[in-house]
Amino acid sequence: MTTLSTTDVQCAQAVLSSPALIRLITEIDDNGPIPPRALTRTLTDVSADHLRHSVDQARALGLVHVQPGAGLSLTRAGVELADVYDALARWARRHKRPAPVCDFTGRIQHTLALLAQPPVRPSHGGPRRRADIAPADSEADTEFARLRRLLQEWLHTNPQVVGVADPEIAA
CB distance 63 to 22 below 8 Å: no
Q: Residue 121: what pLDDT?
A: 62
Is 30 in a helix, a strand, or coil? Answer: helix
CB distance 89 to 147 below 8 Å: no
- Which residues make Cβ contacts (< 8 Å) with residue 167, sequence separation at least 6? 14
| Domains of the chain with CATH codes | 6-119+129-161 (1.10.10)
Q: Residue 167: what pLDDT?
A: 41
Q: What is the mean pLDDT of each run of 10 residues along the chain (171 residues)?
A: 80 94 97 92 92 95 94 97 97 89 94 88 51 59 92 94 54 35
Rounded-to-integer distance, Cα 38 and Cα 41, Å: 5
Q: Residue 153: what pLDDT?
A: 95
Helices (H), 43-137: 48-60, 76-94, 104-116
DSSP state, 124? T
